Amino acid sequence: MGQTSAVYITGCGAYLPGAPVGNDEIAAHLGGTDPATTRRRARVLAANGIRQRHYATGTGASNEELAAEAVGRAVKDAGLAMDEIGMLATGTTMGDQLVPGFAAMVHGRVGGGPMELLSAGGVCASGLAALKSAAAAVALGEHARAAVVGSELVSRVLAEPRFAAGGRPTADAEFLRWTLSDGAGAVVLSAAPRADRPSLRVEWVRSVSYAHERPACMRAGEGWLDAPSAAAAEAAGLLRLRQDVAALPALVRLGVAQARELVDLATIDHALIHWSAETFRNRIFAEIPDLSEISFSNLATCGNTGAASIFVMLEEAWRTQRFQPGERILLAVPESGRFTMAFALLTCVAPNQLLSELATVWSEFEARLAQVPIVRRIEDGTATVQDYRALLLHLRQQVVEGGRWISRAASNFSAERFELRSAAILHAAEEHRDFLLLERDHAATGGTGIRDARKNAGSEALSAFILQQASQPDPVDLLGAMFVIEGLGTAKALGWARMLQDRLGLGDGQVSFLRYHGEHDAEHVGELHKLLAVTRPGDVDGIVRTARITARLYALQLEEIG
């Protein structure tokens, strides 16, 4: 880990369960058809402006399933696989169970590999709290990519008879009943912008609580631990959501004041604001009239999905291409739980030309690798132990040279390119002994004589080319070589290790080199993307050319194995 770097939203996903439920259909899902309830429902719906919403009741889905579906869609939208995600951060008001944490349950649903987890508690602002933590982890270089999800399944506590438990609900509780609904929204964070389309750079995320001066406005479960049983708690209505609606205007005033303190609203091009009802939107616009021209909300068509709402809004705005490069987007979530204000500022950035061209190089490289005999045998499950030993033997010669060319490159960077020099020094220190892992794997599978083997033609050409490039003044072009070599570790090494283990019955100690690079090169790629972000326009052609040559020579190295 080193200096913080930029963080980008590169994928969005949302999931609203079941068919849309119109205002005339609510009672069929939640109950409450008596005349008094019908009148209260009509008043609430007139105030909140919601025309349709979604409920998971009847679908059999759990909250974690809603969240997992949204995460899966966001990861797919980002063009990634789940095992490329290093952290999962979740926000929800009420999970499906008290223990374990909500993030762990969602991770169990989405799969992928080992990852860091964070479960943010609270109410509506918990989604942005999760975003803040995940963005910080990516910015610090702890993960190259993270997924963030806000999810709610509140309908289960709004339906009869649970909602009516403990006596006749108050008018404030009825407000929540006809306002809240189910859904999930997610985003993927990356250390680099997308190469193929715009991304959203996260400028900052801020959250502030006023609980030191404000009583709880929204609550559920008060006193449930003292009940003799869960059934008694439910019968007493202790799990019913309650809200002090009269306190909400103060929430609006605090939110407006906090927004003005954080950002010059005249510089904002889009405002996505989580308001629970149209009446509060009108109060906000009365305070800041200019927001009416730039605000976007899908409350009327998607309902109030609590912690998911801000991401559900963002997903629709992203999908419908509302944002253009250079525009600034303010996300705002005033939470009524005990008066928490959460905000985020995003900037839409254009596709990265360098990454776009490198992505083309990578596609060409993958297509070439697919035709290499040793790669085909590994990936179709026909590789032998002899094949694996041959792979290690031929790779070793290039791996030994890796520390040399990185060190040489470090010595040739000038003071003006100090970021690249520092990164090269650190990288050389981290990887100069990697060949020892490879040698141990070779010996562990019965191989001998690896240190006496000569470089094959591809290895000779690859080493000579990269060392020649590293010897140039300010060898920025070597970022192209690193893109290919580190990318190969991230994209292929772990998969190859697992395939070889499954096919040949090898233990972890026999594939440690491949597993190490598969598990750690994602962090190296994250660092590489930070370096690509500080390159100059004049660097692009050289980096891409070096990447293309490195890819061709690396493939030749593997072709020589036979």
Q: Is 542 left (phi over 0), alpha (psi -120 to 50) or beta?
A: alpha
Same domain, 168 and 280: yes
Choice between 227 and 233, residue whose per-residue pLDDT is larger? 227
Same domain, 388 and 268: no
pLDDT, residue 221, reads 65
Q: Which of the listed ranges 173-182, 218-227, 269-278 does the model predict with the highest average pLDDT?
A: 269-278
Q: Is 361 exposed, middle or buried (0-12, 13-18, 19+ CB in 10 A)?
A: buried
Q: Residue 323 belongs to what H/E stretch?
A: none
Domain ends where: 349, 364, 395? 349
Q: Which of the listed ranges 230-244, 329-343, 417-431 does the model predict with the highest average pLDDT?
A: 329-343
Q: Is 261 exposed, middle or buried (0-12, 13-18, 19+ CB in 10 A)?
A: exposed
560: DSSP letter = T
pLDDT, residue 396, reads 87
Q: Is residue 1 part of a domain?
A: no
Q: Is residue 304 part of a domain?
A: yes
Choice between 82 and 217, residue whose per-residue pLDDT is larger? 82
pLDDT, residue 428, reads 66
Same domain, 326 and 387: no
pLDDT-derived band at 233 (thresholds 50, 70, 90) equals low
Same domain, 291 and 426: no
Q: Print the domain residue range for 473.
A: 353-559
Q: Which of 126-140, 165-179, 180-194, 430-444 has the lowest mean pLDDT?
A: 165-179
pLDDT, residue 147, reads 98
Choice between 453 and 373, residue whose per-residue pLDDT is larger? 373
- State the chain's mean pLDDT as an integer: 88
Q: What is the CATH number of the domain that holds 447?
A: 1.20.910.10
Choice between 106 and 433, residue whose per-residue pLDDT is larger? 106
Same domain, 343 and 430: no
**CA–CA separation, 484 and 505 (whole Å):** 29
Count of domains observed in the chain: 2
Q: Looking at 210-251, which runs of residues are DSSP E strands?
A: 218-219, 242-243
Q: What is the CATH number of the domain that holds 23?
A: 3.40.47.10
Average confidence (pLDDT) over 50-58: 92
Provide the token pair at 408. 């040489």
Average confidence (pLDDT) over 490-505: 90
Q: Is residue 3 part of a domain?
A: no
Same domain, 378 and 327: no
pLDDT, residue 1, reads 38
Helix pair angle (385-412, 434-444), 10° resolution: 170
Q: Is the pLDDT of residue 335 over 60?
A: yes
pLDDT-derived band at 430 (thresholds 50, 70, 90) equals low
170: DSSP letter = P
Q: Is residue 431 part of a domain?
A: yes
CA angle, 56 then 57 then 58, to 5°: 110
Strand 270-273 versus strand 116-120 pairing type? unpaired
Domain ends where: 349, 380, 407? 349
Q: Is the pLDDT of residue 525 over 80?
A: no
Q: Which of 70-74, 98-102, 247-251, 331-335 has the lowest mean pLDDT?
A: 247-251
Same domain, 314 and 363: no
Choice between 175 and 267, residue whose per-residue pLDDT is larger? 267
304: DSSP letter = B
pLDDT, residue 552, reads 96
Average confidence (pLDDT) over 111-122: 94
Same domain, 228 and 247: yes
Q: Residue 13 belongs to what H/E stretch?
A: strand 8-15
Alpha carbon dihedral 361, 362, 367, 373, in 10-degree steps, equals 110
Average confidence (pLDDT) over 516-528: 72
pLDDT, one tens digit per residue, over 206-215 is 999 888 888 7
Same domain, 342 and 357: no
Contact 78, 71 (CB under 8 A): no
pLDDT, residue 398, reads 80
Residues 6+ apart with CB under 8 A from 205: 128, 131, 132, 135, 342, 343, 344
Q: Is residue 498 part of a domain?
A: yes
Q: Is 473 exposed, middle or buried (0-12, 13-18, 19+ CB in 10 A)?
A: exposed
pLDDT-derived band at 494 (thresholds 50, 70, 90) equals confident
Q: Is the pLDDT of residue 331 over 80?
A: yes
Choice between 454 and 72, residue whose per-residue pLDDT is larger? 72
**What letters, b where the CB count within 10 A reaches 16 and e where it falls short, cover 41-65?**
beebbebbbbebbbbbbebebbbbb
Q: Is the pLDDT of residue 530 over 50?
A: yes
pLDDT, residue 366, reads 92
Rounded to two decimals, the pTM is: 0.72
Q: Is residue 2 part of a domain?
A: no
pLDDT, one tens digit per residue, over 59-70 is 889 999 999 999
Q: Is the pLDDT of residue 166 over 60?
A: no
Strand 87-91 versus strand 8-15 pairing type? unpaired
Same domain, 240 and 358: no
pLDDT, residue 2, reads 44
Same domain, 18 and 161: yes
Share of the chain above pLDDT 90, in %: 54
Q: Is the pLDDT of residue 427 over 80?
A: no
Average confidence (pLDDT) over 281-307: 91
Domain ends where: 330, 349, 368? 349
Q: Is residue 80 part of a domain?
A: yes
Average confidence (pLDDT) over 30-57: 90
Contact 461, 545 (CB under 8 A): no
Q: Which residue type sits at 481?
A: A
pLDDT, residue 356, reads 84
Q: Is residue 504 part of a domain?
A: yes
3-state secondary structure of 116: strand
Q: Is 116 exposed, middle or buried (0-12, 13-18, 19+ CB in 10 A)?
A: middle
3-state secondary structure of 497: helix
Same domain, 367 and 245: no
Q: Which of the listed ranges 177-191, 388-402, 431-445, 506-520 does the model predict with the highest average pLDDT?
A: 177-191
